[in-house]
Chains A and B, each alone.
Chain A
Amino acid sequence: MTPLLGVEEIYSAYGLSRVLFGISLEVFAGECVCLLGRNGVGKTTTIRSVMGLLRPSSGRVVWKGTNITGWAPHRVARAGIGFVPEDRRVFAELSVLENLTVAAHAARRSGRWTTDAVFELFPKLHELRNRQSGFLSGGEQQMLTIARTLMGNPELLLLDEPSEGLAPLVVDSLLEQVGELKRQGLTILLAEQGVEFSLALADRVYVLERGAIRHTGPSAELRDDPALRDRLLAL
């Protein structure tokens, strides 16, 4: 079975500072895979390399059998990869509804995600739909960022540190919502520092350290073996 997304031995750098040293990973359809690791190990860089926001200096990114390395980000998005960035900034001047319609208009992909479907998943956004999105709270902005990406009807969702900087209560509801997306069959690649959050969602994990993969396996393994978890993720 060929993976939906295959990352093959990529090396990426920001100018002269090299960040990734031969990252390889696979994501199969319907899976939730998590990149786990501390700050600065290359999780975001890996995701940005997949999205085409950063061009790997070597290695390939393969999407459904097609080599998409070096594609412009808008082409990657239209091919079916949705990205929810870490900074989760919305288009502050537009209303909630406008943020969603712009995204739907941009991705040119039809599917099950419409404004109605998105509002069903995030009822709060329906309530706030005419509000200028710059005035939403952090948690609400995070919901909107995810909702906006869903409007493009992606087959794979790249979630970069979704729980970062959110209040514990908000994280819980976010966990529920992302879990719901997973149950509906959406493939997810998650980057996280929070062990609780990622182990609750992921089927498999890749543990990153200094730009390379240190460990890979089912998340149950890490969940059930505190010693292994401590060894890999000791802070």
Chain B
Amino acid sequence: MTTELRTGEAVAPAGGIVRSPAAAVPLRTPLVRRIPWTLLVFIVMATVPWLGSRYDTFLAAQIVIDALFAVSLNLLLGTTGLVSFGHVAYFGVGAYVCGILMKTYGVPFVIAFPAAGLGAALFALVSGYFCVRLIKLYFAMLTLAFSQIVWAICYKWNSVTGGDQGVPEIPYPHLHWMLSLPGCGDLSIGDRFYLLALVLVAVSLAVVHRIVRSPFGRVLTTVRDNPERAAFLGINVRAYQLASFVVAGGFAGLAGALYGIFSRGVFADYVFWSKSAEVIIMAILGGMEFFWGPPVGAAALVWLNQAITDYTQYWPFVLGTILLILLFVFPGGIVGGLVAGFRLIQRVGRRRLSPRHA
């Protein structure tokens, strides 16, 4: 088993150190690994406005925005080991900040968008300060409590949030310049906004990916694995949990800002707790142990929702059944299942080859 694991990494030669025979054989990186998947997916997504229908673009936009929201949650769930039941609060704060700035104050998108992220991160700093003082279920309950407070404020503070009416008709950002690009002449404003959202989400995901792989991200992993062990090495566990909470909140805010414009308005419904559950489902469905799990989960959930409601109105029933099967058969989610399947094929292939090579 160990040799199999070693092959992928091919231990680098070092002076004076005898390498094990397995490491001495340079193995080719498997073909699957060499394909630039992320670039491919980006290109495919970018062609949707040209190749797909208007409805396809609508679904793709929803998937892209939900993907960022789910990845931001997974920074807490998968990387830091914190289960937040109130992540929608930061999504909502971002949506309202961006929406109100653009609609009520006429602030351009270039300023309103980062402001939404900052606003959400700031709110995450305040609420997170209290939340990380509690552990496990109590942490989860407190995050839920904060999100319900946000919902209540959004629902009742008529003069700012529009209360029940919400903030309708948020203007699109100015994207006329896109029309002058080659091949973009006949794109609708919805298409153009979709492309903008796609680029912004791609950049955000790249940043989150960097954060997860950075020394800071590694410390978060140790905090998730064993907070006590992390603490006696000198890691201030609460401080790191809070930092993770703030970063996750900020990116959720960015996703919220995009969502508000995409759906042409921000309403109190967006901040309701059921949306927090939805994003947790996305992360688990896709596989929270993997960086690309939550985006896959977001795509699966949006697509399933659309596909199943065509046949039946009992969508939650079907979703529940799918989740039940998935949790039992593939506890690693869709991506976990794919990885396990791929390894199985590899192993069977190798076993077939080995008699000839032995």
One of A9-17, A56-64, A72-80 at the interface: A72-80
Are the C-beta atoms of B235 and A106 separated by less than 8 Å?
yes
- B231/A102 in contact, CB under 8 A: no
Q: Does B219 contact A (CB under 8 A)?
A: yes
The reply to whether B6 and A131 form a contact with Cβ atoms under 8 Å apart is yes
A76 proximity list for chain B (CB < 8 A): 232
A-B contacts, 6 of them at CB < 8 A, read: A74-B235, A91-B225, A93-B221, A123-B17, A127-B17, A128-B11
CB distance from B358 to the nearest CB of A (A): 24
A83, A98, A127: which contacts B232 (Cβ < 8 A)?
A83
- A108-130 vs B, CB cutoff 8 Å, 1 = contact: the mask equals 11000000000000010011101
Query: Are the C-beta atoms of A135 and B2 separated by less than 8 Å?
Result: yes
* A73 & B9 in contact (Cβ 8 Å cutoff): no
* A77-B231, A131-B5, A131-B11 given; 15 more Cβ-contact pairs under 8 Å: A53-B231, A74-B233, A77-B232, A85-B229, A91-B222, A93-B221, A102-B222, A103-B233, A106-B230, A106-B235, A107-B233, A107-B234, A131-B9, A132-B5, A148-B233
Q: How far is the CA of A135 from the CA of B17 in the complex (A)?
A: 20
Could you give, for residues 36-62 of chain A, a 1 whenever the CB lies within 8 Å of some chain B CB and a 0 otherwise?
000000000000000111000000000
B interface residues, how many (CB within 8 angstroms): 28
- Using CB atoms and an 8 Å cutoff, list the residues of chain B in contact with chain A: 1-2, 5-6, 9, 11-12, 14, 17-19, 215, 218-219, 221-222, 225-226, 228-237
Taking the closest CB of chain A, its distance from the CB of B105, in whole angstroms, is 42
Residue contact B222 to A108, C-beta cutoff 8 Å: no
Most chain A CB within 10 A, of B215, B222, B225, B233, is at B233
Q: Is A152 an interface residue (CB 8 A)?
A: yes
Closest Cβ of chain B to A179, distance in Å, is 23
- A172-198 at interface with B (beta carbon < 8 Å): none
Which 10 A-B pairs rank lowest in CB-CB distance, beginning with the nearest? A107-B234, A77-B234, A73-B231, A106-B234, A106-B235, A73-B232, A83-B232, A106-B233, A91-B222, A74-B236
Bound together, the chains give a CA A135 to CA B9 distance in angstroms of 13
Q: Nearest CB to that of B2 among chain A residues? A: A135
CB-CB under 8 A from A215, the residues of chain B are: none
Query: Do the beta carbons of B17 and A106 come within 8 Å of each other?
Result: no
Say yes or no: is A94 at the interface (Cβ < 8 Å to chain B). Answer: yes
Tell whether, in the assembled complex, residue B228 and residue A53 are in contact, meaning their CB atoms are under 8 Å apart.
yes
Are A101 and B9 within 8 A (Cβ)?
A: no
Cβ-based interface call for A220 (8 A): no
